[in-house]
Amino acid sequence: MQLPPGVTSKDFSAALEQFANAVGKDWVFSSEADVNLYRDSYTPFWHEEKEPIPSAAVAPDNVEQVQQVVRIASQYKIPLWPISTGKNLGYGGAAPRMSGTVVLDLKRMNRVLEVNEKNHYALVEPGVSYFDLYHYIRERNLKVWIDPPDPGWGSLVGNALERGGGYTPMRDHFDAHCGMEIVMADGEVVRTGMGALPNSQTWQQYKYGFGPYLDGIFSQSNFGIVTKMGFWLYPEPEAYLSGTVSVPLRDDIHKMVEVFAYLANSGIVRGTTSVLKTSSFLQSDRGDTTVGLGGSTKSMEQYAAQKDLGYWSIDLPFYGAANVIAAEWEYAKEKFSVIPGVKFRDGVSYRFPLDPQQLAKIANPVPLGVPSLTTFSIGGPRSQGHIWFSPIIPMTGEAVLQAQDVFEQAYRDMGSPSAAPPGFPIWSFFSRAFVIIYFMPIEHDVEKNRRNREIFRQLIKIAAQHGWGEYRTHTAYMDDIMNAYSFNNHALLRLDETLKDALDPNGILAPGKSGVWPKRMRKANA
Amino acid sequence: MTISRALFLVALGMALGTQALAAPNESQIERGHHVYQKWCYPCHGPGTDKPGTNAMAAQGLKPAVLEERTDLTPAAIKGYVRHGIYFMPTFRKTEISDADLDAIAAYLTRSNKPAATK
Ligand SMILES: Cc1cc2nc3c(=O)[nH]c(=O)nc-3n(C[C@H](O)[C@H](O)[C@H](O)COP(=O)(O)OP(=O)(O)OC[C@H]3O[C@@H](n4cnc5c(N)ncnc54)[C@H](O)[C@@H]3O)c2cc1C
């Protein structure tokens, strides 16, 4: 049996027994078969010693049990890795950063505590998935939307704490939260925002409460265990429509992104979209094996023109009152018309609510607030999983061109064109900046995974040299990325460590999360 | 060192042996259907928007929709759910309990000819 570092097997057995007293023996998992279920199904360390393997898992059903577990762990200095639904595939799954950590599985805490359709919010426990909340709302015919990320089986809490993104106007999930309840490393329960006021009437309606606003320090962090979280919901809109803008020349990207940024920052385009290099799909159309990796600009522009497609294109999603969004699309066209040769195409439009037959015909319902698992086709039928490389770049045409050149060159230099997918996906999951989301395949092949890990580390460095940093990462790269956020001799990490030592002196919560290690493990992991 | 289906089944046989299973009753099949709808249908249901179905179709498995199969055994179903295959991840017991998994297996083998249900 794997043991937490520095914990004797006698102490570990005693702790497991006490965990069982707290949560019931059915909810403490320590057999190899059960613990294996907590390994990352998409680990970049398949068949290597380096793969982090938990020592056990414990699954409390309520806040009091979480407190008890934390106090027991604190007594024996046993590290705990909290997960909400544990579906963080591509970024680590349910597995901890460090071998021997006990996974604190909050999946059983799956109560929807409130959905309010007059003020449009929900209060949920960590184990509530997007599917769960969606069904809860549909069964009661409430006029609110959730905002799922592509995979609907994750949790509002886990996804928001990771600062994940979706597609509707509530797409920035951490930003859309309002109020938390947290169990601290000493077992104390804290509520943030208006939740600190006993009998508060506005916990999910006003974010800040009074005094320092602390919610941010519990995201991508190991300072506490979130046991409840409020979320603002989108009132069911009257309608949706989309339109496509395409431009003929490579250099049109500058004006195209400038107009897009104006529309997005003005609140006219409120949903997630992506800038597509339409022309790179054309390359694959020609059977070119260097898909997405260049070819002369002129020839691609000519080919795109022949095919009556743009060099670049962008789909604009509009949500709201039918006549308002029609006007917004017209206004967007007017703004983009400064680009010579720009073309517009009307896309789909819907009126809500959709009936089940209409919904069944929509291949990807996620941008309409309906959870799905369709996204898992992304790597093709033989995919064994993948991880994401996701740097944030400026919302400018210049940055798009530079990032494209830099990353494609890097992939070429490292001899791995296959890792760079066609289409160079540039997303607007968050306001004001773009995020590039590259797909890095995982295989049951030690050599290939080693090579891809090297490439990944290289990409982090190259991004940092250009002033771009990742918004989130797989557990395998947390130290690398934190290391890149190094302004003033790693002042941010040093501040994180100061907080860590103050809030979790025994160092039991998620050691290594985001590159933040407790004092007693800091040297070994430096 | 790609995990092939054949290799997987060999490993599975070693891990699970051949298990005797009590004949499933109606309510267990119903429960299995319910759990299946929640956890499996989004990937294995009919339609080109279902990644598991697409993968099975690409592999030439017929029928590609899991619910239409009559050749699956409870042991194989449980093995796939607890070990994963290709991009299908493992499922934890807090997601699908052993009892729920028995029910899924009962549901997915409901139309098997008696001999296949061992
Ligand atoms: C094909 C594919 C597509 C994807 N598309 C998207 C997408 O569109 N948008 C997106 O955002 N992501 C996407 N992802 C990434 C990921 O699957 C989702 O973000 C998913 O929601 C995260 O899993 P989860 O919600 O189960 O979180 P969990 O696994 O429960 O949590 C993630 C991490 O957050 C921390 N944490 C969780 N709960 C707590 C808690 N209660 N207290 C303290 N810390 C906690 C832990 O460190 C944990 O490891 C995609 C992944 C794949 C494979």
pTM greater than the 0.90 cutoff: yes
User: Does position B83 have pLDDT exceeding 60, yes or no?
Assistant: yes
Chain A touched by B92 (CB under 8 Å): yes
In chain B, which residues have their Cβ closer than 8 Å to the Cβ of A445? 1-2
Query: How many CA atoms within 13 Å lie on the side-chain side of A477?
Result: 28
Give CA–CA dist A222/A219, Å, rounded. 8
Looking up tokens 């500058």 gives: A254
Residues near A443 by Cβ (< 8 Å), separated by ≥ 6? A46, A384, A449, B2
The answer on A97 and A20 residing in a single domain is: yes
- The CB of A91 under 6 Å from ligand 1? The reply is yes
Work out which ligand 1 atom sits closest to the CA atom of A161. Answer: 34
The answer to the question of residue A418 being in a domain is yes
The residues of A annotated with a catalytic role in the active site are 91, 471-472
The answer to the question of residue A27 being in a domain is yes
Residue A523: the pLDDT is 83
Structure tokens at A362: 């929509």
Q: Tell me, in angstroms, the distance from the centre of ligand 1 to residue A86's CA.
A: 7
CB contact under 8 A, A376 and B82: no
Nearest C-alpha of chain B: how many angstroms from A162? 20
- The CB of A367 under 6 Å from ligand 1? The reply is no
Element (H, E) at A82: strand A80-83
- pLDDT tens track for A387-401: 999 999 999 999 999
Q: Name the closest residue on chain A to residue B5, using Cα atoms.
A: A382
Give CA–CA dist A178/A126, Å, rounded. 14
> A80 pairs with which residues across the strands?
A102, A509
The answer to the question of residue B113 being in a domain is no
Give me the domain span that covers residue A302.
237-472
Looking up tokens 């970024």 gives: A91
Give CA–CA dist A301/A248, Å, rounded. 7
Chain A touched by B58 (CB under 8 Å): yes
Give me the domain span that covers residue B69.
3-16+25-108
The answer on A383 and A275 residing in a single domain is: yes
Report the residue from B1, B48, B58 with minimal CB separation from A47.
B1
- The CB of A132 under 6 Å from ligand 1? The reply is no
Structure tokens at A145: 């939307």
The answer on A373 and A310 residing in a single domain is: yes
- pLDDT tens track for A187-201: 999 999 999 999 999
User: Does position A367 have pLDDT exceeding 70, yes or no?
Assistant: yes
Residues in chain A: 526
SS (H, E, C) A477-496: HHHHHHHHCCHHHHHHHHHH
Chain A touched by B4 (CB under 8 Å): no
What value does the CA radius of gyration of chain A take, rounded to a whole number of Å? 24
User: What DSSP character marks residue A195?
Assistant: G
Element (H, E) at A123: strand A121-124
Report the residue from A39, A127, A444 with minimal CB separation from B3.
A444
The answer to the question of residue B101 being in a domain is yes
Work out which ligand 1 atom sits closest to the CA atom of A93. Answer: 29
The answer on A151 and A224 residing in a single domain is: yes
Domain count, chain A: 4
The answer on A94 and A165 residing in a single domain is: no
The answer on A219 and A311 residing in a single domain is: no
Residue B26: the pLDDT is 82
Q: What is the pLDDT confidence band of residue A424, given thresholds at 50, 70 and 90?
A: low
Report the residue from A36, A39, A383 with minimal CB separation from B87.
A383
**CATH (domain of B66):** 1.10.760.10
* C-alpha A382, offset from chain centre: 24
The answer to the question of residue B36 being in a domain is yes
Backbone φ, ψ for residue A317 (5° rounding): -95, 140
Nearest C-alpha of chain B: how many angstroms from A105? 8
- pLDDT tens track for A269-315: 999 999 988 777 655 554 444 434 456 788 888 888 888 889 999 99
The answer to the question of residue A226 being in a domain is yes
Report the residue from A47, A94, A383 with minimal CB separation from B86.
A383
Averaged over A32-46, what is the pLDDT?
98
The answer on A459 and A313 residing in a single domain is: yes
Residue A294: the pLDDT is 54
Longest dimension (CA), chain A: 75
The answer on A242 and A387 residing in a single domain is: yes
Q: At what angle do helices B98-108 and B26-39 cross, to 10 degrees?
A: 100
User: Does position B86 have pLDDT exceeding 70, yes or no?
Assistant: yes
Percentage of residues in chain A with pLDDT exceeding 70? Answer: 95
**CATH (domain of A327):** 3.40.462.10
Q: pLDDT higher for B2 or A330?
A: A330
Q: Where a domain ends, among A181, A201, A235?
A: A235
CB contact under 8 A, A373 and B91: no
- The CB of A44 under 6 Å from ligand 1? The reply is no
CB contact under 8 A, A37 and B86: no
Q: What is the pLDDT confidence band of residue B22, given thresholds at 50, 70 and 90?
A: low
Percentage of residues in chain A with pLDDT exceeding 90? Answer: 86
The answer on A371 and A331 residing in a single domain is: yes
> Could you tell which of A87, A274, A373 is best to mutate to test the pocket of ligand 1, judged by most ligand atoms within 8 Å of the CB?
A87
The answer to the question of residue B114 being in a domain is no
The answer on A315 and A454 residing in a single domain is: yes
The answer to the question of residue A1 being in a domain is no
Q: Name the closest residue on chain B to residue A105, using Cα atoms.
A: B94
Residue A1: the pLDDT is 75
Do the beta carbons of residue A334 and residue A259 sit within 8 Å? no
Q: Tell me, in angstroms, the distance from the centre of ligand 1 to residue A220's CA.
A: 10
Q: What is the pLDDT confidence band of residue A409, given thresholds at 50, 70 and 90?
A: confident
CB contact under 8 A, B92 and A38: yes
Q: Tell me, in angstroms, the distance from the centre of ligand 1 to residue B74's CA.
A: 31
Q: pLDDT higher for A206 or A303?
A: A206
Q: Where a domain ends, among A76, A105, A134?
A: A105
User: Does position A414 have pLDDT exceeding 80, yes or no?
Assistant: no
Give CA–CA dist A230/A180, Å, rounded. 6
User: Does position A479 have pLDDT exceeding 80, yes or no?
Assistant: yes
The answer on A461 and A351 residing in a single domain is: yes
Domain count, chain B: 1
- pLDDT tens track for A115-129: 999 999 999 999 999
Q: A61, A377, A445: best mutation site toward chain B, by most B Cβ within 10 Å?
A: A377
Residue A239: the pLDDT is 98
Residue A359: the pLDDT is 94
* Single-letter code of the amino acid located at B2: T
User: Does position A268 have pLDDT exceeding 70, yes or no?
Assistant: yes
Q: Name the closest residue on chain A to residue B54, using Cα atoms.
A: A381
Please provide the average confidence, as pLDDT, over all residues in chain B. Answer: 84
- The CB of A513 under 6 Å from ligand 1? The reply is yes
Q: What interface predicted TM-score (ipTM) does this complex get?
A: 0.94
The answer to the question of residue A478 being in a domain is no
In chain B, which residues have their Cβ closer than 8 Å to the Cβ of A34? 93
> Could you tell which of A38, A66, A83 is best to mutate to test the pocket of ligand 1, judged by most ligand atoms within 8 Å of the CB?
A83
Nearest C-alpha of chain B: how many angstroms from A35? 9
Nearest C-alpha of chain B: how many angstroms from A495? 36
Residue B14: the pLDDT is 42
The answer to the question of residue B43 being in a domain is yes
The answer on A219 and A90 residing in a single domain is: no
Q: Tell me, in angstroms, the distance from the centre of ligand 1 to residue B38's CA.
A: 19
CB contact under 8 A, A59 and B49: no
Nearest C-alpha of chain B: how many angstroms from A84? 11
Give CA–CA dist A143/A150, Å, rounded. 22
Nearest C-alpha of chain B: how many angstroms from A367? 15
Please provide the average confidence, as pLDDT, over all residues in chain A. Answer: 94
Q: What is the pLDDT confidence band of residue A410, given thresholds at 50, 70 and 90?
A: confident
The answer to the question of residue A382 being in a domain is yes
Report the residue from A36, A59, A381 with minimal CB separation from B59.
A381
- The CB of A164 under 6 Å from ligand 1? The reply is yes
Chain A touched by B91 (CB under 8 Å): yes
**CATH (domain of A99):** 3.30.43.10
The answer to the question of residue A477 being in a domain is no
In chain A, which residues have their Cβ closer than 8 Å to the Cβ of B52? 376
